[in-house]
């Protein structure tokens, strides 16, 4: 019966279309009705909200068997009914509205979908979806021609319903006046993007005026009109000001033209990396797009404009093994200025958030530590860090096989008198070091309930130096920190030693130490002993730091006297 119904509509539709092709008389109400019914039932047209409701309804099949549209022929008053039926044909969900009470929007197109909206003219919801009332629904189709005709048929029905005279005459298919032209053959490319900034450092600084110079090339043998460029910043970096849409009247045949996009920043500019998505459209249909990443407020030379994620961030090995007995605290403290406005932006710790984020991904994917076993903090305050330590230190009381990993990227400082080493929460400054957290206290707290092992990994320096600008810069002091005294089954792996600084690896967007730590975990798929890992870190961090940052950075590793095994017998 369903097969007969569908084929009847197809034959009817062919008859109607054939009739239309022979006349330039406006289609009647009956003809328009049949066209709408057939288009909805047999072509690639969906009502987004109705289909979603249908597929989410538990009492119906997971996919509709057929759908139908109808217009009440007797005593017609403008009502339309659209339905999706279950497999058995007995159950359905429907959407109803009156064509007189709605506005029909323009077609919006992407590379894969074409759609237009139907919305209520008044402030009251007028579209009924089962028992609910909506203000708007969306008609979608992957086929531009089909949806253009369907939209025009609804507009024509609306015209008939309102009894407006002077209907436009038609030739061939009456609903074939496409609002959006087919653009498959339009070829426009972005061969080049150039970045210009006043400070000449290839980044966006506070209150700086910059520009993206975008080259557009028309590869067609004809002029292309109604071109626009849309630009969005995907990372939601605060403090950027730019015009989101730029219209271009015409690109002549084979023309290349440079378009300047001005980007300004204010004094609220956020440190990070702006990710600009640039789309080229013709008649509101996307032709091509590119993304451009630009550092914001990062110090030091930025030699690449369109930055790529380092390979260690992209290709993270995966394991099927689970380490259910391992728990971790992962902290990335990058933004100190937000909590301490008197600081300069240069005191922020470049890439610390990314260090923590990617290290966490390696813990989960490469080492097999469950996500629920990881306490992950970015830009953490003193209270947040202490709460995390207090929670994790109690886990050995529940799980006698518990092992603990503590990772920290951020500022560290020494006490000038006691030479004790502290990690610095984002709400602590150098003049109130007592609110910082001692390394020895972290180790002592985490070891207090006798876990199998505690591994502290510290990408911070404790001499008063820093990746960018030290929190001690106003005191011009450099302190040789006291060695940590560790007890229990603890091991401390540090990014640098003595008076050295722990620096960034700008090209790789990581701390120098964390980059090579992740690199070795990637190479070995996490199957590495601590001696092999340390040997790798010792050579590569020292060498690369001297080549890039013109100074030594020497990682260190210290284990508790209670640990009898050699480092080459202890797996990471």
Q: Per-residue DSSP letters for 218-267?
A: E-SSS-EEEEEEEEEETT--TTEEE-SEEEEEEE-TT-EEEEEEEEEE-T
Overall average pLDDT of the 251-258 stretch? 90
Q: Name the pLDDT band for 55 (thresholds 50, 70, 90).
A: confident
How would you classify the pairing of strands 92-98 and 209-218?
unpaired
Which tens digits make up the pLDDT trace of 118-145? 999 888 889 998 888 899 999 998 888 8
Answer whether residue 304 is part of any domain.
no
Residue at a domain's end among 161, 196, 224:
161
Rounded CA separation 153/32 (Å):
7
466 and 348 assigned to the same domain: yes
Query: pLDDT confidence of 65, banded at 50, 70, 90?
Result: low
Question: What local confidence, expressed as pLDDT, does residue 221 receive?
Answer: 82
Give the model's pLDDT for residue 288.
86
- Average pLDDT estimate for 55-70: 61
- Total number of domains constituting the chain: 3
Tokens of 512: 């120098």
* Nearest alpha-carbon partner for 382 in 426, 352, 348: 426
**Mean pLDDT over the full length of the chain:** 80
Within a domain: 32: yes
| d(C-alpha 461, C-alpha 205), whole Å | 26
- Looking at per-residue pLDDT, the higher value among 190 and 179 belongs to 190
| pLDDT of 92 higher than 60 | yes
Q: Are 533 and 569 in contact (CB under 8 A)?
A: no
Is residue 519 in some structural domain?
Answer: yes
Containing 215, the helix (H) or strand (E) segment is strand 209-218
- Tell me which residue of 114, 117, 118, 173 sits closest to 149, measured CA to CA: 173
Q: In CATH, what number is assigned to the domain containing residue 115?
A: 2.30.29
Residue 301 located in a structural domain:
no
The string of pLDDT tens digits covering residues 437-494 is 999 999 999 999 999 999 999 998 765 444 454 454 332 233 344 565 677 789 999 9
pLDDT of residue 481: 43
What is the distance, to the nearest Å, from the Cα of residue 194 to the centroid of all Cα atoms in its chain? 24
Mean pLDDT of 362-386: 95
Domain boundary among 161, 177, 199: 161
The answer on 540 and 445 residing in a single domain is yes
- pLDDT attached to residue 341: 77
More confident residue, 205 or 260: 260
185 confidence band (pLDDT: 50, 70, 90): low
pLDDT at 345: 53
pLDDT of 100 strictly over 70: yes
Residues 137 and 248 both lie in one domain: no
454 part of a folded domain: yes
| Burial group, residue 7, by CB count within 10 angstroms (0-12, 13-18, 19+) | exposed
What is the domain-level CATH number for residue 255? 2.60.40.10
**Would you say residue 358 has pLDDT above 90?**
yes
* Average pLDDT of the residues in 236-251: 89
> 192 and 143, same structural domain?
no
Instruction: Answer whether residue 308 shows pLDDT above 80.
Output: no
Of 252-261, 292-301, 459-468, where does the model show the most confidence? 252-261
User: Is 60 a residue whose pLDDT tops 80?
Assistant: no
Look up residue 562 and give its two tokens. 């209670």
Q: Between β-strands 437-438 and 421-423, what pairing exists: parallel, antiparallel or unpaired?
A: antiparallel
pLDDT tens, residue by residue, 416-449: 777 788 899 998 887 777 788 999 999 999 999 9
Contact 186, 251 (CB under 8 A): no
Least confident segment among 107-111, 209-213, 296-300, 335-339 = 296-300
CATH code, domain carrying 399: 3.40.50.1460
**For residues 57 and 418, which has the higher predicted lDDT (pLDDT)?**
418
Q: Evaluate whether residue 167 is within a structural domain.
A: no
Verify that 358 and 476 share a domain, yes or no: yes
Same domain, 280 and 344: no
pTM for this entry: 0.49
Report, as an integer, the average pLDDT of 143-158: 86
Looking at the structure, tell me whether residues 290 and 345 fall in a common domain: no
| Banded pLDDT at 187 (limits 50, 70, 90) | confident
For the segment 158-185, the average pLDDT, to the nearest whole number, is 51
Q: Write the CA distances from 84 to 8, 62, 119, 136, integer angstroms.
A: 18, 12, 21, 18
Using the predicted structure, report yes or no on whether residue 307 has a pLDDT greater than 60. no
**pLDDT of 77 over the 70 cut:** yes
User: Considering the domain boundaries, does residue 434 fall inside one?
Assistant: yes
Whether residue 246 is found in the same domain as residue 107: no
Mean pLDDT of 218-237: 88
Given this model, what pLDDT does residue 12 score?
34
Specify whether 109 is located in the same domain as 239. no
If asked whether residues 327 and 287 sit together in one domain, one would say no
Q: Which domain holds residue 225?
A: 188-296
What one-character DSSP code corresponds to residue 73?
-
State the DSSP code for 204: B
Judge if 141 and 23 occupy the same domain.
yes
pLDDT-derived band of residue 175, with 50, 70 and 90 as boundaries?
low
Flag whether pLDDT at 179 surpasses 50: no
Better pLDDT: 237 or 389: 389
Span 155-174, average pLDDT: 58
In a domain, 264, yes or no: yes
503 and 373 co-located in one domain: yes
pLDDT at 339: 82
Distance, CA of 94 to CA of 150 (rounded, Å):
19
Q: Which of 116-130, 300-314, 533-547 has the lowest mean pLDDT?
A: 300-314
**In this predicted model, which residue has the larger pLDDT, 327 or 87?**
327
């Amino acid at each position: 019966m369903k097969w007969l119904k569908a084929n009847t509509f197809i034959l009817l539709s062919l008859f109607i279309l054939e009739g239309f092709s022979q006349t330039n008389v406006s289609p009647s109400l009956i003809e328009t009705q049949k066209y709408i019914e057939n288009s909805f039932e047999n072509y690639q047209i969906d009502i987004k909200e109705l289909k979603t409701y249908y597929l989410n309804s538990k009492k119906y099949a997971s996919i509709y068997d057929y759908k139908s549209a109808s217009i009440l022929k007797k005593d017609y008053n403008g009502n339309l009914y659209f339905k999706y039926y279950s497999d058995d044909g007995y159950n359905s969900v429907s959407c109803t509205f009156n064509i007189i009470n709605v506005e029909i929007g323009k077609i919006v197109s992407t590379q894969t979908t074409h759609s237009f909206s139907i919305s209520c003219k008044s402030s009251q919801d007028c579209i009924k979806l089962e028992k609910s009332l909506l203000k708007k629904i969306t008609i979608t189709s992957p086929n531009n021609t089909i949806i253009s005709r369907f939209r025009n048929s609804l507009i024509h029905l609306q015209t008939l319903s309102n009894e407006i005279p002077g209907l436009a005459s038609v030739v061939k298919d009456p609903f074939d006046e496409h609002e959006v032209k087919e653009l498959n053959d339009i070829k426009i490319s972005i061969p080049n993007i150039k970045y210009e900034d006043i400070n000449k450092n290839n980044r966006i600084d506070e209150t700086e005026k910059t520009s993206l110079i975008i080259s557009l090339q028309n590869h067609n043998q004809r002029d292309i009109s109604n071109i626009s460029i849309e630009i969005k910043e995907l990372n939601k970096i605060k403090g950027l000001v730019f015009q989101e849409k730029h219209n271009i009247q015409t690109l002549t045949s084979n023309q290349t033209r440079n378009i300047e996009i001005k980007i300004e920043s204010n004094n609220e500019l956020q440190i990070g990396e702006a990710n600009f998505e640039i789309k080229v459209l013709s008649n509101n249909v996307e032709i091509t797009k590119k993304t451009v990443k630009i550092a914001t407020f990062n110090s030091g030379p930025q030699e690449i404009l369109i930055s790529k994620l380092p390979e260690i961030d992209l290709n993270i090995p995966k394991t099927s093994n689970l380490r259910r007995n391992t728990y971790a605290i992962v902290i990335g403290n990058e933004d100190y200025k937000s909590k301490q406005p008197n600081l300069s932006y240069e005191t922020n710790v470049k890439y610390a958030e990314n260090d923590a984020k990617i290290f966490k991904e390696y813990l989960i994917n490469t080492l097999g530590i469950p996500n629920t076993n990881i306490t992950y903090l970015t830009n953490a305050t003193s209270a947040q860090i202490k709460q995390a330590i207090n929670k994790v230190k109690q886990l050995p009381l529940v799980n006698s096989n518990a092992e603990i990993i503590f990772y920290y990227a951020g500022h560290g400082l020494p006490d000038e008198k006691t030479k004790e080493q502290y990690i610095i929460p984002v709400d602590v400054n150098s003049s109130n070091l007592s609110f910082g957290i001692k390394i020895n206290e972290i180790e002592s707290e985490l070891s207090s309930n006798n876990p199998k092992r505690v591994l502290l990994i510290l990408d911070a320096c404790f001499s008063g130096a820093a990746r960018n600008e030290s929190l001690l810069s106003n005191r011009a002091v450099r302190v040789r920190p006291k060695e940590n005294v560790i007890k229990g089954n603890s091991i401390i792996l540090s990014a640098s030693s003595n008076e050295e600084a722990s620096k960034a690896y700008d090209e790789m967007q990581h701390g120098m130490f964390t980059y090579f730590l992740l690199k070795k975990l990637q190479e070995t798929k996490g199957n590495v002993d601590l001696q092999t890992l340390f040997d790798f870190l010792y050579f590569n961090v020292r060498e690369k730091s001297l080549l890039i940052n013109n100074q030594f950075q020497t990682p260190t590793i210290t284990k508790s006297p209670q640990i009898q095994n050699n480092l080459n017998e202890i797996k990471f």
